[in-house]
Structure 1
Amino acid sequence: MASHMPSNYAEDRLHRYLAHWTRDPSNVAELDVGAISWATEEERRDRQKKYCEVASDYYDLVTPLYEQGWGQQFHYTPLTPGLSIRESMTAYEKTFAELARLKKDMRALDLGCGIGGPARTIASTVGCEIVGITNSAWHVERGNALTKKAGLDHLVTLVHGDFLKLPFPDESFDAAYSVESLCYAPDPAEVYREIKRVLKPGAPFTFHDFAMTENSPAPWYYGPAGDIWWAWKTPGWPDFWKVFKMWPPFRGLAHTVYRLMIYVGWAPREVSTLMDTMWYCTKSVAIGGKMGIFTPMYVFVCRKPAREKE
């Protein structure tokens, strides 16, 4: 776990992130449900203005936890019969690369690349060059280190930047894609304009994102729901420990342990708030999936016009 942590992973970072989600920044040790669930329009606009800061603070905190508990791929996936969650993710990323029209020797842009898990899968499979962009400096540091360790630094590079102001010249990419990240942009239209600007004429742009739907494929949500019964059904139980850590009784026990650590002074009180916040989000995703009204895997395949009049 220590190797997953940024060097300045400290209490001030925890305070800074939690302060975005409370009406009383002097008391971030308590989960402010009202500020999260019933935010005013003014509060929502203020968070949108600071979206880069909010997102960066969030991912700086949770990326080490995601990597330890979920792996290097921070997305949901259609589950393939007989494959574990991780194997299904890798299989889906290869399928996604085909949908995205990615070819050998292309130069592709990965928007919201995280620590580069999908980029490494795609680059090693297809043989294309991928430039990933993220607004988290820790993602860049950690992701480039993992890429070098995998021997793929000649194909994959992660850079620090903003969706709304892409630091690339016009028409400098053969393709672009995004996996569960554009939904966080405060102005999707501006992001699409920037993507169009950096793509060459006729280049494809593919994204997989969250959507509210009338029907949702199941059981993609069994991981975040902590449904250990589904985990048992996969031969060899490859997902059991991963899903077990999301199982409500285990999470309740972990929460009790953390509260004890807080009580004896081994952990700051704010850790409990962070756990509550993450649980609140994860539970909402799983409930939406069970109700069939939400899917995180809606895929769009687009193309920049080959001629301006198209």
Structure 2
Amino acid sequence: MSKQSALDLATGLGGKIAKDDVISAVDKYEKYHGYYGGEEEERKANYGDMVNKYYDLVTSFYEYGWGESFHFAPRIKGESLKESIKRHEHFLALQLGLKPGQKVLDVGCGIGGPLREIAQFSLTSVTGVNNNEYQISRGKVLNRVAGVDQACDFVKADFMKMTFPDNHFDAVYAIEATCHAPDVVGCYKEIYRVLKPGQCFAAYEWCMTDSFDPNNQEHQKIKAEIELGNGLPDIRLTGQCLDAVKKAGFEVVWAKDLAADSHVPWYLPLDKSHFSLSSFRLTAVGRLITKNMVKALEYVGLAPKGSQRVQDFLEKAAEGLVEGAKKDIFTPMYFFVAQKPVSVDQ
């Protein structure tokens, strides 16, 4: 995991957005969301702009606090956050049955933490597709540092309309990424198109569970906080997610909410009642230090105006994630493996 300094955090804030434009980007991003009165249809219609703004604004915060892999993982007692994240990625590679030399696609790859880990673990070539220019540029730097330039690369593209030919990849995976899709059936159909017949697609999805009550105002507030803090147009139910996989043409091999089997709560790093030296930056004290540091950096002009507000909505997201987990209405790791039929009528 990378360990960015405060200066790295400051210089990366805002991504590719001009520093003077960060505060207006924050304004526009916030207005997309229900927490500030925005509408779901507007978020879906403008998902490309919304998600790009989101990742330009938050990527440095993510890397500073979380490392190179922007996802959660179930944990075993005595296991560190870093170890659990690696095991989570290895588990996915094993479920896909990856073999040396295969061509693999990572849909919504972030800065490529999982991509690098899975390529090295399975001896495969992994291409990451991402529509955010800043994350790709950051990922290329990290690929060079890790010495995986030959096995790993990035393609800038919208995962709703990818530039790859049909039947191109031996395996496809997505880790907490396709939740950004405005039309999940359309997204899965595009993944289906680029995957070779007989091969598998596996994903960890963010979903509301069957315990979520759309008529419960507290549940709706938690859902809105998660959407705001994570750049999501709408969070689907687990059943809706699985239906979409089938509608796209896949045959579901198996599916399960892996959060249910976590010995240590997956949300523990975000829980303010928890303290850990190994993930200190995520603790209540660590987050307070980061908040004050960002405030100081913004005050002296090293961080762009609006940086504090980004940290604020990320804090709101953390609260929503913890509450959603404790009430058993949200999971970040609804996992499925689905196969493209061997015989496909195009």
Which of residues 15, 20, 26 in structure 2 aligns to 1:11?
20
Mapped pair 1:279 → 2:310: no
Are 1:183 and 2:186 counterparts?
no
Change in Cα spacing, 1:107 to 1:36, as seen in structure 2 (3 Å) is same
Tell whether the 8 Å contact from 1:13 to 1:57 is kept in structure 2 after alignment: no
More displaced stretch, 132-141 vs 288-297: 288-297
Aligned with residue 266 of structure 2, among 192, 211, 220: 220
1:188-223 Cα offsets, whole Å, 9 max, x none, are 111111111111111100001112235953511111
Contact 2:16 2:133 in 1 (8 A): no
**1:260–1:295: structure 2 CA closer, same or farther, 3 Å change rule?**
same
Worse-matched range after superposition: 105-114 or 80-89: 80-89
- Any conservation in 2 of the 1:9–1:61 contact (CA below 8 Å)? no
Q: Aligned match of 1:22 in 24, 31, 49? A: 31
Greater mean alpha carbon deviation, residues 96-105 or residues 194-203 = 96-105
Aligned-pair distance for 1:102?
A: 1.6
Gap change, CA 1:186 and 1:81, over 3 Å in 2: same
1:270 aligns with 2:306: yes
Distance 1:266 1:152 in 2: 32
For the residues of structure 1 that align with 2:294 and 2:178, how far apart are their CA atoms?
33
Matched, 1:141 2:181: no
Task: Encode CA deviations 1:99-123: one digit per residue, 9 max, x unaligned.
Answer: 1222211101100000000010010
Task: Write the distance in 1 (CA, Å) between the matches of 2:59 and 2:118.
Answer: 21
**Residue 238 of structure 1 aligns to which amino acid in structure 2?**
S
User: Percent identity of the aligned residues?
Assistant: 33
Taking a change above 3 Å as real, the CA distance of residues 143 and 306 of structure 1, as seen in their structure-2 partners, is same
State the shift of 1:243 in Å.
3.1
Please give the secondary structure, in 2, of the residue aligned with 1:228.
coil
Q: Do structure 1's residue 170 and structure 2's residue 166 form an aligned pair?
A: yes
Structure-1 residue corresponding to 2:94? 98
TM-score by length of 1: 0.84
Distance 1:64 1:309, change over 3 A: same
Q: How many Å apart are 1:281 and its aligned residue?
A: 1.3
User: Matched residues in 2 for 1:56 and 1:295: separation?
Assistant: 24
Number of aligned pairs? 287
- Name which of 279, 294, 303 aligns with 2:330: 294
Q: Structure 2 vs 1, CA of residues 206 and 44 (structure 1 numbering), >3 Å: closer, same or farther?
A: same
For structure 2, the 5+ residue unaligned runs are 212-256
Shift of 1:20: 2.7
Note the C-alpha offset of 1:124: 0.3
Partners of 2:300 and 2:187 lie apart in 1 by 47
From 289, 300, 304, give the equivalent of 2:340.
Answer: 304
What secondary structure sits across from 2:73 in the alignment?
coil
| Structure 1 residues 269 and 17: alpha-carbon distance in aligned structure 2, compared to 1, 3 A threshold | closer
Partners of 1:147 and 1:265 lie apart in 2 by 30
Q: Which residue of 2 aligns with 1:86?
A: 82
Structure 1 residue ranges without an equivalent (≥5)? 24-34, 232-236
- Residue of structure 1 aligned with 2:60, choices 64, 67, 77: 64
Structure 1 contact 18–274 (Cα < 8 Å) conserved: no
Q: Which shifted more, 202-211 or 252-261?
A: 252-261
Distance change in 2, residues 1:277/1:202 (3 Å): same
Q: Which has the higher contact order (CA 8 A, sep 6+)?
A: 2
| Residue number in structure 2 paired with 1:31 | none
Q: CA deviation at 1:264?
A: 7.8
Greater mean alpha carbon deviation, residues 269-278 or residues 91-100:
269-278
Over 3 Å counting, the alpha-carbon distance change for 1:264 and 1:202 in structure 2 is: closer
User: Per the alignment, in what secondary structure is the counterpart of residue 326 of structure 2?
Assistant: helix
Cα RMSD between the aligned structures?
Answer: 2.6
Secondary structure, counterpart of 2:169 in structure 1: coil
Question: Over residues 42-101 of structure 1, what are the superposed CA-to-partner deviations in whole Å (9 max), with x where a residue is unaligned?
Answer: x32222122111111111121111111110010001112222101110111111111122
Structure 1: how far apart are the matches of 2:309 and 2:206? Answer: 25
1:243 corresponding residue in structure 2: 282
Is 1:77 aligned to 2:73, yes or no? yes
Letter in structure 2 aligned against 1:228: H
> 1:166: Cα distance to partner?
0.6
2: CA distance, partners of 1:121 / 1:3: 23
